[in-house]
Amino acid sequence: MKLKESNRINAEALYELKSVVDPQVNEKGQECLYVLTSICKETDKYYSNIFYKRLDTLDTTQWTFGKDRNYSPRWSPNGEQVVFISNRSGKNQLFLLNKQGGEAKQLTFLANGVSNPVWSPDSKEIAFQCNLKMGETVEDKENITEKKEEKVTSLEVTNMKYKSDGKGFWDGSYDHIAIINIESGDLEQITSGENNYYVQSWSPDGQYIAISADESDEKDFSFIADIYLYNRKERNWKKVTESNGSYGKATWTPDSKRLGLIGSGREYENATLSKIWVYDLESDYLQCLTPEWDVNVGDYAIGDFQQGSVTPGILWGEDNESFTFLGTDHGNTIVYFGNISGAIYPSLIDNHHVYGLSTGGSLKRAIVAISTPTHPGDLYTLNLETGEVQQITDVNKEFAETHTFSEAEPLQFHSRDGWELHGWLMKPQDFKAGEKYPMVVEIHGGPHAMYANSYFHEFQTLTSNGFAVLFINPRGSHGYGQQFVDAVRGDYGGKDYEDIMDAVDYCLETFDFIDASRLGVTGGSYGGFMTNWIIGHTDRFKAAVTQRSISNWISFYGVSDIGYYFTDWQIKADLNDIETLWKHSPLAYVNNMQTPLLILHGEKDFRCPIEQAEQLFIALKVQKKETKFVRFPESNHELSRSGKPTLRIERLNYINNWFLKYV
């Protein structure tokens, strides 16, 4: 029996679905704040508001209203006030709400906006980040009003890191940290100079503010983030880490004697697994608690739905020795328990994606945000001692009652050279035994990311249109240990390609409902590279869609915001080795490409610049190959996840319609 059209999950369903993120439990553990994001169809913009929930009665109250972005709610330590960020005045500014009610009070008025509020332990001050050009301060009068539109002028470039996807061209400004007194409104800037500084956390005794920064002289070739302690009273600094990697998510024990960090060295460049570190202030000693643990600390699952999810660092308990945290493992993100003795065990392990975690300081109960392939996401209480969970929000209840989601069946199989591989297969939403169905292979980006037991709107639209969907974590993916994630470096288009093709063969041998003559393939970023690579090395796919892809490593080296170092890390070659760069470039195999190819690319993508798509399109058209090129204006590398809603929907429809036409 065919699905009713009203039950199908189409691209436009994004207008109906809501994203719930960033749970924040107060220190008493009885109240929780969270952020709910929706899309306003009339304005074609996202808007988010803050909700309050009592955890004993589960009563819910909406605390902010309107069609602006209100997010990052943070309880004051005394539990009486909440600071949050809102763009209601034009730029992102700090606003203060009293728990007892009343209008929100705007605290900051900086021209470039602010981010990342962190309370002082006495609830009298708030540290935050702001963007300042050289010579500017937070107290400059011209910086306290909205700046006038700047005239078009030339851009003088002297640094290699002069552009960044999502931010655009560097304008000579730096991220700095300031503190505001919430009673007087007085501002104090605590960092300055030609470095970026990021506030992490404030010690419970009020003495230190943990800050991350890269103070190396040669920024173009530096890829570190050190942790510093700023002594609030003495106005001096102490460096905690040794400039050998990237460290962050700094959190304090209740007694302020230890600082927990998440970070890694550069042993495998950007493929190095994150570890848990603890710095003891009394002994001045930094120790890695997980040196041999082959699990990546944090949430590295990839998706296309949640807006503004926040991954915490390690969350300490009352005993100053125990903590809870998130880890990425075998297609799931898991809540783990650990302590300074090195013990680690799961508190919540299931086939799901935990994308939010908050405890309020107690290790008895947590609030977690959980998504599954058939559940976009909600909040749950988690008993950290028993593992029992209870759902406390149901933000997409009405949608779920009227629409059909496709399950994701886990797959476990071996590659041709004996490596264990993991993935999922989703059946079409109107699946009927005995019939044959086309299958689309989806390939994630990164390559160091992980498909997970999480909601993926793109996949649901494909199954709604009658396609089976196969997605796996090939070599290079997180979640399967250090050797696995590192294996892709220097081997793009090698064993990773074989892993994907072995997954296709496994499905064709295992599931008789898949039509081997009707296969499609798509992916974005690295997944776009692999899509290009696949159609240059096999004709078994009837159609392909490449998104924000790489086609030419030689030009990518100089045009991407990360090209000159990412290419060296991943391909293990530079412009002194053109032969290797070209050997790994899909463009080198364009003569072999016979598969109808749809090319989707954002015009402001600085990560994989649109010239990568242009080269491929022209090369194919010269040879009269079947191809189409779609350019998305004002869109960067994040189009599929946080781009303009109408363009996200257009993109999904282009993908589905291409496969419906050619597969």
Cα–Cα distance measured from residue 476 to residue 472, given in angstroms and rounded to the nearest whole number: 11
- Position 4 scores a pLDDT of 60
Mean pLDDT computed over 62-68? 96
* Alpha-carbon distances, residue 514 vs 106, 414, 423 (angstroms): 58, 20, 16
Question: Residue 649 and residue 655: Cα distance in Å, rounded?
Answer: 10
pLDDT in tens, 157-206: 999 999 999 999 999 999 999 999 999 999 999 999 999 999 999 999 99
pLDDT of residue 152: 86
| Whole-number pLDDT of residue 144 | 63
How much of the chain, in percent, has pLDDT values that exceed 70?
98
Q: How far apart are CA 467 and CA 455, in angstroms?
A: 17
What positions carry a catalytic annotation?
525, 637
pLDDT at 1: 40
Q: Do 647 and 586 contact (CB within 8 A), yes or no?
A: no
Instruction: For residue range 468-504, list pLDDT tens digits in order.
Output: 999 999 999 999 999 999 999 999 999 999 999 999 9
Paired sense of beta strands 45-54 and 60-62, if any: antiparallel
d(CA 357, CA 596): 44
108 vs 96: CA distance, rounded Å: 10
Instruction: Give the per-residue pLDDT at 141.
Output: 60
CB-based contact 527:521 (threshold 8 Å): no
Cβ neighbours for 7, distance < 8 A, ≥ 6 positions apart: 402, 403, 404, 429
**Predicted pLDDT at 333:** 97
Give the CA radius of gyration of the chain. 25
Using CB atoms within 10 Å of the CB of residue 404, give its burial: 0 to 12 exposed, 13 to 18 middle, 19+ buried. Answer: middle
What pLDDT is recorded for position 135?
A: 86
- Number of Cβ within 10 Å of residue 645's Cβ equals 18
Which residues make Cβ contacts (< 8 Å) with residue 103, sequence separation at least 6? Answer: none
What is the C-alpha to C-alpha distance for residues 281 and 149, in angstroms, rounded to an integer? 47
| Residues 107 and 96: beta-carbon distance below 8 Å | yes
The model's pLDDT over 109-150, given as tens digits with 9 standing for 90+, comes to 999 999 999 999 999 999 999 999 988 999 886 566 555 566
Residue 569: φ, ψ to 5°: -65, -40
In contact, 400 and 460? CB cutoff 8 Å: no
Closest C-alpha among 83, 61, 87 to residue 74: 83
Backbone angles phi, psi at 219, to 5 degrees: -70, -30
pLDDT digits (tens, 9 = 90+) for 230-265: 999 999 999 999 999 999 999 999 999 999 999 999
- Segment 438-477, tens digit of pLDDT: 999 999 999 999 999 999 999 999 999 999 999 999 999 9
Mean pLDDT of 16-33: 96
Phi first, then psi: what are they for 431, rounded to 5°? -55, 135
Q: How far apart are CA 378 and CA 375, in angstroms?
A: 8
- Between CA 106 and CA 88 the distance in angstroms is 10
Q: What integer pLDDT is reported at residue 193 of this predicted model? A: 94
Query: Between residues 406 and 102, which one has the greater pLDDT?
Result: 406
